[in-house]
A and B are shown apart, each in its own frame.
Chain A
């Protein structure tokens, strides 16, 4: 059984009188443990696809099966639960809460999952240590470098043991050296069995994955494994 199964997924936006087709009947399967890159020019529908995969948005047509459940039929609260349990987000701009320290940021998904305070502190500390930030747990985001912030974001994305790691341009705001560090971290996570989906427009970033899906005008243009 596929971890992700999209069937004829569409997403239309109404812009005044005009209808924008951001995705046109996309059909796609992703297995557990895959490391996939989604590529395409600006405006091709990458982010729209990411939002649908991450249950932040619901399709206007088609069906989405995630881990065996039909996501397109769920209501707002159920989607929030799925996002909490099944999905870890990593954003281009990190999206850490500025007033909270690293520990608190990583704890947050556990808070929403209802894990008791003592336990979630243990889990969060362990996750921060696993991304190499054991000595930065009480730093606020503005006291951390870009690479460290993205590591906090990775720790936060992983802390609930999600089925999928979704990263939208994770290296877009990093210099090339730290970008490589984050990609090495992804590689390590992939080896450990995590399912990773990365949206990028950089060929070099995409080459780190095992499979590249190219999108153009809301359609899949190509879907090929990476040959190394």
Chain B
């Protein structure tokens, strides 16, 4: 008998055995249901978190370094106190970086303030205003949807022009084109020369922002702002070297003695990713432990019920052996039965998990992916095979004479 027919026969026999003991099979499968449910929900949650996280940092390019006074991630009060003592990043520092960096493709200063905006009757009490140079698209990855970005000439001379984000454009201008219109930012008139494309889900997007020439920004909003210097590496593979060079330039400029700590921070996307992976890793580990525990308990239940099943059917095993079933056939029959019970548990778990993920969707972009469903079913079948092996082995090894004599 070839393996495929054996598999089919095994399935047939298991199915009738499970159907004959419906309640028992379903009760036994509870542990597996709980185990697989945790696998599924945990996997979905981590995937969802991952997706929402990646979305939220998608506007931070991987090949851009951000020099600022403070570290993005302040992990302790001490860090915070320390960073408060750091001097602000200044314009001469930007110029020094621009002059001395060899590994940088673009160096851009960015100052930022929140101001109210108005256009005729419509307006908003607070939007982000960025003062920067014509290089900004290079580091931020922004693209212009209509019109154009700020020109070099405008940035050098500091003309009152601006580029606005997509959401701001749709909020202020319903039917007319914003290009060429004048809006009032904190009471100062700015002519719109371009509208940015929508960035979407990122938490740090420029959809509700106005970008103005730095010179104009300094003149209108803040004379001595706090800058961020954005440095785009020429080559993503050299991001670490670029960071070192940047650090050296800044230390030299600030006359920091060798051995003294930096009094500035160089941030990059990696930091977020690292933190996120640490958190997700911990969640995953806890989940794995709970899952493992539930599956272990469930597996023991399956093993127990399979021993009962084998004992109940000792005579059947004897008959099957007498008419020609081999050890392998009997072994497979009971393994398949255990795997089927567990698979039923897995399917029940997924049927429960499915509405649960719909609830989860309110908090994060979670979906029950085919990958997770596949994994859950595989794990449940595997649990069945593992916990069913010992009972099945006992059945396969039975002596037919003894089995037939069993009452």
Write the residues of chain A forming the contact surface with B, with a CB cutoff of 8 angstroms: 51, 54, 56-57, 76-77, 80-81, 83-85, 89, 91, 95-97, 99-100, 108-109, 111-114, 156, 160
Partner of B1, one of A54, A76, A85, A114: A114
Known contacts A95-B315, A97-B316, A112-B1: A89-B327 contact under CB 8 Å: no
Residue B5 is within 8 A (CB to CB) of chain A in the complex: yes
Within the assembled complex, what's the spacing in Å between the Cα atoms of A57 and B401? 7
Residues on B with beta carbons closer than 8 Å to the beta carbon of A112:
1, 320, 323-326, 329
Residues on A with beta carbons closer than 8 Å to the beta carbon of B329:
112
Q: A80: nearest residue on chain B (CB-CB)?
A: B326
Residues on B with beta carbons closer than 8 Å to the beta carbon of A109:
323-324
Within the assembled complex, what's the spacing in Å between the Cα atoms of A77 and B397? 11
Partner of B321, one of A80, A113, A114, A160: A80
Contact A99 B20 (CB under 8 A): yes
Within the assembled complex, what's the spacing in Å between the Cα atoms of A56 and B404? 10
Known contacts A111-B1, A114-B5: A89-B322 contact under CB 8 Å: yes
Within the assembled complex, what's the spacing in Å between the Cα atoms of A116 and B71? 72
Residue B16 is within 8 A (CB to CB) of chain A in the complex: yes
Q: B327: nearest residue on chain A (CB-CB)?
A: A76
Known contacts A56-B401, A91-B404, A95-B404: A83-B16 contact under CB 8 Å: no
**Count of B residues near A, CB < 8 Å?**
25
> In angstroms, how far is the closest chain A Cβ from the Cβ of B58?
56
Within the assembled complex, what's the spacing in Å between the Cα atoms of A114 and B319? 18
- Besides A56-B321, A111-B1, A111-B5, 7 more A-B contacts (Cβ < 8 Å) are A56-B401, A56-B404, A81-B326, A95-B404, A97-B319, A114-B1, A156-B323
Residue B167 is within 8 A (CB to CB) of chain A in the complex: no
Interfacial residues of chain B within 320-373, with CB under 8 A of chain A in the complex:
320-329
Residue B2 is within 8 A (CB to CB) of chain A in the complex: yes
Within the assembled complex, what's the spacing in Å between the Cα atoms of A108 and B13? 11
Question: Which of A89, A97, A160 neighbours the largest number of chain B CB atoms within 10 Å of its CB?
Answer: A97
Write the residues of chain B forming the contact surface with A, with a CB cutoff of 8 angstroms: 1-2, 5, 9, 16-17, 20, 315-316, 318-329, 399-401, 404
Contact B323 A83 (CB under 8 A): yes
Residues on A with beta carbons closer than 8 Å to the beta carbon of B20:
99
Within the assembled complex, what's the spacing in Å between the Cα atoms of A62 and B134? 102
Contact A77 B327 (CB under 8 A): yes
Partner of A77, one of B320, B322, B323, B326: B326
Residues on A with beta carbons closer than 8 Å to the beta carbon of B399:
57
Residues on B with beta carbons closer than 8 Å to the beta carbon of A113:
1, 324
Contact A80 B325 (CB under 8 A): yes
24 residue pairs from A and B, CB less than 8 Å apart: A56-B321, A56-B400, A56-B401, A57-B401, A76-B327, A77-B326, A77-B328, A80-B325, A80-B327, A81-B324, A83-B321, A85-B324, A95-B315, A95-B322, A97-B316, A99-B16, A99-B17, A109-B324, A112-B323, A112-B329, A113-B324, A114-B2, A156-B323, A160-B324
Residues on B with beta carbons closer than 8 Å to the beta carbon of A77:
326-328
Contact B324 A80 (CB under 8 A): yes
Residues on B with beta carbons closer than 8 Å to the beta carbon of A99:
16-17, 20
Contact B404 A83 (CB under 8 A): no
Within the assembled complex, what's the spacing in Å between the Cα atoms of A97 and B329? 16
Known contacts A95-B315, A111-B1: A83-B322 contact under CB 8 Å: yes
Known contacts A95-B315, A114-B5: A108-B323 contact under CB 8 Å: yes
Within the assembled complex, what's the spacing in Å between the Cα atoms of A118 and B61? 65
Residues on B with beta carbons closer than 8 Å to the beta carbon of A76:
326-327
Within the assembled complex, what's the spacing in Å between the Cα atoms of A46 and B324? 22
> In angstroms, how far is the closest chain A Cβ from the Cβ of B12?
9
Q: A57: nearest residue on chain B (CB-CB)?
A: B401
Residues on B with beta carbons closer than 8 Å to the beta carbon of A111:
1, 5, 9
Question: Which of A51, A76, A89, A112 neighbours the largest number of chain B CB atoms within 10 Å of its CB?
Answer: A112
